[in-house]
A and B are shown apart, each in its own frame.
Chain A
């Protein structure tokens, strides 16, 4: 199991090679992996629906309690099946949609990487592992939205999606850490059983808010919904996969996964049902405002995500069955609709619904797929979407809180969703024939496979709900935390939900008839809508830039003297504070100084003073050099030959470097004001006093057990070396040294870059790469 997912990442890396070998069919070859996974997952169906939870253990970092254990219960199986099955069709579809695209190999690399991250996310049992996969989906999604990277709009949208989801990811990380602290475990499985402890815990509310922050941004809940429609700048296979079937459902998955541990409290029910319902209505409402087919679909996805969140908020057994059914139904019809949208775009050359019409003769198969999928979206009998919607209305009716409010919002959303469904399915294919930029014809078979099968499944599962009933029930069981015994059926008799459905059908079709007028009416609301969350996002980003510029001017102003003053003052302030207030030491140190030691010390002081008062650079350098050599001498006197040698060599090389720099500088001049010099003297004296005090504290204070004894004792037996300094550097503390040589290398690169790049080149580079894309809305 782990092998398959990790192998997928390896396969992703080999995608360019596969392209060289198989050419355009590389996508089909890569689809074999998710296809195999899907088959294997189908094989696990009986065991999981029988109520088992399959655990695939794998220790990743045992010392840190981080595992890569995979967990297969109803919930993760449903998600994993959706990811792998739809993934297969998407890979096939992309081969047709992006046929001949120069970056197809790159697309496959990222797509495969995304697919495996998503699988890992829904399968992982460990919070840390899950979070890693979670962030991987954000990163791969960023690369996929910005796939057409020459288009500034796509880059901007990609960045927006990244900022919103990664910002939420930060909150999520905090939430997960609190969760692990409160539940005393990093394992999701263990946390599921600790619901009562977690809900009673003092950290419950902050933990919940942080987790919701992550889930709501990822799943485009109000007020973070704006990034999802913008993400439609991605190629259509990406939209169909990430932004309808998989990634945006990651947040929903997380909420469902945590329902047994965190769900059911007042805060949970209130926030989830209200935010969910608001998202649902917002999505359905805004779907009707747009004419771009992908935008309409994207907003209807926002609607669906809101519905799912609301159902989790209601949290009754009934609502969770509705949740599982709606989730499955949505993935099937939305995947199909997006793929049809891609065919329309690909074969007619436009994405604007208003520009399409009467295409059913030219594209009969697409028309049928769109019609079937749209019926499911609209929730019309006998499609799976109908069952989902009936169950949803039923559970809203029986909701314990806000029942009436939620019902009104649900019906309003259902009406507008139906209108949106009619718009995407009827408008392009029926009515009067309109001229499109390209002469329309049916899409290639690679592009039709996916929509045909997914739309077909919507119909089959609707007519024969018993096929999916066990999986839906075991999903609801995992979310509910205790066994859910029920079954799905298409016909529930004439009841209130059915009547509400009929009402929404009639009103929805009316809105469709008068869509133009409706849009005109909606357009009047634009001034209000334009001040929505997206405007706030741009203002926030502007603020970030303003603050960054301000703090760069203040702290990173490029004057080394200011850096020094700042660094030293903070050092003196913090260390001095700790030294004075937390440490009591007596300064009664018996001095036992030999005459030659006093001489060396005196020389050092003289060197330091000379360096300060000299009015010639060369003399100052020489004075500083004197100090350096005296320090080296001190090392030798106190038997630290390695340090002494190093100090000597560094002094020598410093002189070389200084000589190279010195004669490039202008003539010596006093640029600082007397006041600044006084300030510098104060800072210097304070730092010097602090270091002196520190040394005295070390000498006089109670001695901590010295670690050097271990080094001395083990240098020969463990390190096989008599030079303890070197053994420490390359063996005992080699990791530190490794870090240090990286720093050294970075410093060298910094010097190189600083000397090679000139200001005019920088300006030219800045003009080539405008980095202020995200500033203007």
Chain B
């Protein structure tokens, strides 16, 4: 069940997955101005990994992920909390958004972005934790 082995799915997954991940990053970064954002992007990325999981199995997906999905959840929560701190440093109320412009490329970097990345990782990690736990359970 877990590893389908069909040629169409395998090829499709291999081709689609990088695109899906790229698309999720795209959604994440443009989310502040256009439809998108960390939550949606995290779901898209989770979908990408789930597709890969169905095509190539658990071991291959683990190797691909490198880290445990639960660590992603932890990292995401950490980033979420971290993004609250700069405001404190500047003596402003808790969670006040901070904006910095990166020179040369004129890119606006901000604590909401850090926070959104945190949301992205938590969503991705949570869904994958559930999926991987379910798949693992099948094997025993």
Contacts and interface: CB of A to CB of B under 8 A. Distances in A.
A725 B70 contact: no
Contact of A748 (B31, B34, B37, B130): B130
A661 B137 CA distance: 10
Given A645-B40, A656-B131, A734 B95 contact: yes
Interface string A161-178: 000000000000000000
Interface string B67-80: 00110011011001
A3 interface: no
A745 B73 contact: yes
Contacts of B44: 649
Given A656-B131, A663-B1, A749 B36 contact: no
Contacts, number: 137
Nearest to B127: A653
B81 interface: yes
B56 interface: no
A744 B136 CA distance: 21
A649 B46 CA distance: 10
A738 B47 contact: no
Given A664-B138, A741-B77, A726 B127 contact: no
Contacts of A646: 39-40, 43
Interface string A623-660: 00000000000000000011001100110110011001
A669 interface: no
A752 B39 contact: no
A737 to B, nearest CB: 6
Contacts of B129: 748-749, 751-752
Contact of B37 (A660, A719, A720, A725): A725
Select the residue from A642, A645, A660, A661 with max chain B CB neighbours within 10 A: A660
Contact of B80 (A661, A720, A738): A738
B9 to A, nearest CB: 13
A551 B31 CA distance: 46
Chief secondary structure at chain A's binding surface: helix
B37 A657 contact: no
A731 B112 contact: yes
Interface residues of A, number: 40
A721 interface: yes
B133 A653 contact: no
Interface residues of B, number: 52
Contacts of B125: 745, 748
Contacts of A663: 1
Contacts of A521: none
B135 to A, nearest CB: 6
A746 to B, nearest CB: 9
B26 interface: no
Select the residue from A649, A727, A741 with max chain B CB neighbours within 10 A: A741
Contacts of B94: 735
Interface string B104-140: 0000101011011011001101110111011111100
B35 A723 contact: yes
Contact of A751 (B76, B108, B118, B133): B133
Nearest to A641: B35
B78 to A, nearest CB: 11
B122 A752 contact: no
B134 A657 contact: yes
Interface of A: 641-642, 645-646, 649-650, 652-653, 656-657, 660-661, 663-664, 719-723, 725-727, 729-731, 734-735, 737-738, 741-742, 744-745, 747-749, 751-752, 755-756
25 contacts: A645-B35, A649-B47, A652-B47, A653-B46, A660-B134, A721-B33, A726-B32, A727-B32, A730-B32, A730-B119, A734-B112, A737-B115, A738-B81, A738-B84, A741-B77, A741-B122, A741-B123, A745-B76, A745-B125, A747-B126, A748-B70, A748-B127, A749-B73, A755-B133, A756-B133
